[in-house]
């Protein structure tokens, strides 16, 4: 029971990171019908920027929360600039092109980001200075740290804010209109290009926050970290129903829990034949199962031809 | 396509002469390269021939049928491992090459169908992600199947794989023909050349066949294709199986040529490299894909000179050549899609399509202006 609860807690923390990254995929997919392959790598850039800032300021004597805020702020700014530039250069000219074309540019951008990051930060793992001293809480036999609680609560706050923003604000309304039908939205006076740029801005900013969380949680950053994270977040978005913002959050949490439980128990269940070194497989298995059994995801609408 | 057309336009005698000249050139090529550039370049040509086969296989899936496959290297891996496991000290099995190569192709084709079957209902981008996941799953299994029973030998890979051997002729030996020395790289060249030419021939014939036209119809409009009586399920599965077969054969050849394989050789980046070859050359055009494969195999070798150049100019190496290669691949994918989406050597249908699209847009704009 203790282990079970522990895995659920770990899964929720992991899941809240997946959910934040998944939001970036799902918002862009909803509005452009495009899988933004480069999103995972934008998150990676955010993580590494935050790492660099934190490392530079670690010995400056500033209070830890301030360093964290500065690092996160820098990451968010860089990611927003990246996201908007990428949309402008690689996706906007191809908006009316055959579907394969923007997908291939997205893959190209993803590779470019990875190897540019390798040039800047090198290919070794970079470690994060410890800013938050681990303090443990114990609930019902399972323990969690202050950091885990912070990640979970912050992620929930960001998601709630985003949901409210999309539902209530003027720009959010424009985003929803563009998602339904860009041409008609344009006729109604919505500036399509600005709305799409803004979607990328939101997705990248939320992704940057997720990136900061990853380096805080694992204490490490790497130029290739965006790939697996991106794959899993995309799986989470599909699981929740791609294009659906609330679905991405649900999918992220669920995937985190599934992964954590599966990799925690796989050794016992298979009598030691398969170990936790297979943990990365579960996301792909979930993805394939969802796409086969229910391509529209848990909260998506049944639109038949979409998948 | 166009090249074949040109050939047919020539009178028979000239046609034969051209063919003969090309044949002589291809036979002399490895020896000339050996004499002028050294043996490493013969090896590079061998690898280029393998990649031509691989790229032509992916071209069937992506270029003809329009199904974006990002895990294609998995089939290459399946072919390579099924050959390596049955022709190496790993299980103390040393099967005959002529049996193992078709077997590897068959196993790869089965994997192709296994991947294709659940993804049939998916389109474009979803398919891309699922195939990507499939490729990763295969790699993770290859990496971890050394416990509890050692099957793949994990990250260490399989060594001492039997070289290609048919009857009494082993390609690992050096033969002399008069004053001509035929080293293993030369013998492999001829085997690979034969296979690559066969792949080109099969691709060209497939493109013009009933099946090939069905693939292209599905790529253009799946709904319309099925309304025209094409069994889209079977035809798409066939594309996956056929592409996988090409991958499996080249995988087997690769294993026997290298003598060593490990999961390292079958990463996502390799899938993307093959995709680059297809995209750069021209999706759906056999000639273009061959061109793309040759260019992108030669590129990293040419980049090898960049390291010393940087050393000479800046006093230190700023960019690792293999990173530079990936940066160039990434830029190539983006720039090609933006400025020349049909590739360096586009197929006629593709060019027509893209031109029509432009026409429609131009007309709309003209209407709006008028």
What whole-number distance in Å separates Cα of residue A256 and Cα of residue A232?
9
Is residue A246 over pLDDT 70?
yes
Tell me if B120 sits within 8 A of B233, measured CB to CB: yes
Q: Which of A77-86, A101-110, A127-136, A247-256 has the lowest mean pLDDT?
A: A127-136
The answer to whether residues B31 and B168 belong to one domain is no
Give chain A's mean pLDDT: 86
Between B347 and A128, where is the model more confident?
A: A128
Runs of H (alpha helix) within B145-231: 184-208, 210-220, 222-227
Residues in A closer than 8 angstroms to B124, CB to CB, are 99-100, 103
Continuous segment of H or E residues that includes residue B55: helix B39-58
Q: If you ran DSSP here, which 8-state letter would residue A260 be given?
A: H
Measured CA to CA, the distance from residue B316 to residue A123 in angstroms comes to 17
> Is B155 in the same domain as B232?
yes
Beta strands in chain A (DSSP E): 126-127, 136-139, 142-145, 220-221
**Position with higher pLDDT, A269 vs A228:** A228
Q: What pLDDT shows up at residue B351? A: 56
pLDDT of residue A159: 92
Domain shared by B33 and B46, yes or no = no
Mean pLDDT value across residues A107-130: 88
Q: Which has the closest alpha carbon to A274: B135, B149, B266, B90?
A: B149
In chain A, how many domains are there?
1
Question: Which pLDDT score, from 0 to 100, does residue B254 have?
Answer: 92
Whether the CB-CB separation of B196 and B48 falls below 8 Å is answered with no
Quick one: tokens of A193?
């290009």
pLDDT in tens, chain B (370 residues): 444 555 667 778 888 888 888 888 888 888 888 778 878 888 889 999 999 999 999 999 988 888 888 889 999 999 999 998 888 877 777 878 888 889 999 999 999 998 888 777 776 677 887 888 888 888 888 888 877 677 788 888 888 888 877 767 777 777 777 777 777 888 888 889 999 999 999 999 998 899 999 999 988 888 899 898 989 889 999 999 999 999 999 999 999 888 888 888 888 888 888 988 888 888 888 888 999 899 888 887 777 777 677 777 776 666 777 788 888 888 888 888 888 877 777 766 655 555 555 555 566 666 665 5
- In this complex, do A104 and B337 lie within 8 Å of one another by their Cβ atoms? yes
Q: What domain range includes position A151?
A: 2-226
CB contact under 8 A, B70 and A107: yes
What is the pLDDT, as a whole number, of residue B171? 72
Closest CB to B128: pick one of A103, A227, A238. Answer: A103
B68 φ, ψ to 5°?
-75, 115
In a domain, B162, yes or no: yes
Residue ending a domain, among B221, B251, B279, is B279
User: For residue A306, what pLDDT band results from cuts at 50, 70 and 90?
Assistant: very low
Selected residue with higher pLDDT from A270 and B248 = B248
The predicted model gives A250-265 an average pLDDT of: 89
pTM of the model: 0.82
**Is it the case that residue A265 has pLDDT exceeding 70?**
yes
For residue B68 the two structure tokens come to 């974006």
Stretch 83-142 of chain A: residues touching chain B, C-beta under 8 Å: 89-90, 93-94, 96-105, 107-112, 114-116, 118-119
Q: Could you say which residues from 52 to 81 on chain B have a Cβ atom under 8 Å away from some Cβ of chain A?
A: 66, 68, 70
Distance CA A47, CA A120 (A): 13
DSSP assignment of B124-163, as one string? HHHHHHHHHHHHHHHHHHHHHTTSSS-SS-GGG-B-SPPP
One domain, residues B82 and B160: yes
Same domain flag for B21 and B100: no
Same domain, B12 and B155: no
Domain that holds residue B71: 40-279
Are B193 and B28 within 8 A, CB to CB? no
Residue A304 within a domain: no
Structure token pair of residue A58? 């670690």
- Shared domain check, B197 and B70: yes
């Amino acid at each position: 029971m203790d282990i079970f609860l522990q895995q659920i807690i770990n899964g929720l923390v992991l899941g809240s990171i997946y959910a934040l990254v998944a939001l970036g995929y799902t918002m862009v997919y909803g509005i452009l019908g495009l899988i933004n392959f480069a999103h995972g790598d934008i998150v990676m850039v955010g993580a590494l920027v935050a790492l660099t800032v934190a490392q530079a300021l670690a010995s400056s004597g500033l209070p830890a929360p301030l360093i964290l805020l500065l690092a996160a702020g820098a990451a968010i700014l860089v990611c927003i600039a990246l996201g908007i530039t990428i949309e402008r250069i690689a996706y906007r000219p191809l908006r009316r092109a055959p579907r394969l074309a923007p997908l291939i540019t997205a893959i190209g951008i993803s590779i470019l980001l990875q190897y540019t990051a390798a040039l800047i930060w090198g290919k070794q793992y970079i470690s994060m200075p410890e800013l938050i001293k681990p303090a443990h809480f114990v609930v019902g036999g399972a323990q969690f740290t202050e950091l885990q609680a912070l990640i979970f609560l912050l992620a929930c706050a960001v998601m709630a804010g985003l949901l409210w923003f999309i539902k209530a604000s003027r720009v959010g309304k424009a985003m929803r209109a563009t998602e339904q039908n860009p041409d008609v939205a344009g006729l109604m006076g919505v500036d399509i290009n600005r709305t799409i740029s803004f979607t990328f801005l939101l997705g990248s900013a939320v992704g940057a926050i997720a990136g900061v969380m990853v380096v805080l949680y694992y204490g490490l950053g790497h130029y290739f970290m965006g790939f697996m994270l991106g794959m899993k977040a995309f799986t989470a978005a599909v699981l929740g129903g791609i294009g659906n913002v609330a679905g991405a959050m649900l999918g992220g949490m669920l995937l985190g829990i599934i992964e954590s439980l599966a990799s925690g128990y796989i050794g016992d269940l298979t009598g030691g034949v398969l170990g936790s070194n297979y943990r990365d497989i579960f996301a792909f298995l979930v993805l394939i199962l969802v796409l086969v059994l229910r391509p529209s995801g848990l909260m998506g609408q049944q639109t038949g031809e979409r998948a | 396509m166009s090249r074949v057309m040109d050939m047919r336009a020539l009178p028979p005698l000239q046609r034969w002469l051209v063919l003969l000249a090309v044949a002589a050139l291809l036979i002399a090529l490895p020896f000339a390269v050996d004499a002028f550039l050294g043996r490493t370049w013969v090896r590079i040509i061998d690898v280029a021939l393998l990649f031509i086969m691989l790229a032509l296989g992916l071209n069937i899936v992506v270029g003809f049928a329009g199904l974006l496959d990002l895990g294609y290297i998995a089939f290459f891996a399946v072919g390579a491992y099924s050959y390596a496991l049955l022709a190496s000290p790993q299980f103390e099995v040393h099967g005959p090459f002529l049996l193992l190569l078709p077997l590897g192709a068959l196993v790869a084709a089965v994997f192709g169908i296994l991947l294709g079957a659940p993804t049939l209902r998916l389109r474009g981008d979803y398919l891309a992600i699922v195939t990507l996941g499939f490729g990763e799953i295969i790699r993770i299994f290859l990496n971890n199947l050394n416990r509890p029973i050692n099957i793949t030998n994990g990250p260490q890979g399989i060594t001492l794989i039997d070289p290609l051997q048919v009857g009494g002729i082993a390609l690992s030996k050096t033969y002399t023909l008069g004053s001509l020395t035929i080293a293993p790289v030369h013998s492999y060249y001829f085997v690979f050349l034969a296979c690559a030419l066969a792949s080109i021939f099969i691709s060209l014939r497939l493109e013009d066949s009933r099946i090939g036209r069905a693939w292209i119809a599905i790529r253009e409009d799946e709904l319309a294709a099925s309304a025209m009586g094409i069994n889209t399920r079977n035809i798409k599965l066939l594309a996956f199986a056929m592409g996988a077969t090409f991958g499996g054969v080249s995988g087997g050849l690769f294993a026997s040529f290298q003598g060593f394989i490990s999961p390292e050789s079958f990463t996502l980046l390799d899938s993307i490299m093959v995709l680059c070859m297809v995209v750069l050359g021209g999706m759906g055009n056999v000639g273009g894909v061959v061109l793309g494969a040759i260019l992108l195999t030669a590129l990293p070798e040419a980049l090898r000179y960049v390291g010393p150049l940087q050393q000479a100019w800046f006093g230190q190496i700023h960019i690792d050549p293999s990173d530079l290669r990936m940066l160039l691949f990434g830029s190539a994918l983006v720039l090609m899609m933006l400025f020349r989406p049909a590739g360096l050597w586009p197929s006629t249908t593709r060019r027509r399509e893209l031109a029509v699209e432009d026409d429609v847009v131009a007309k709309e704009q003209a209407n709006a202006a008028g």
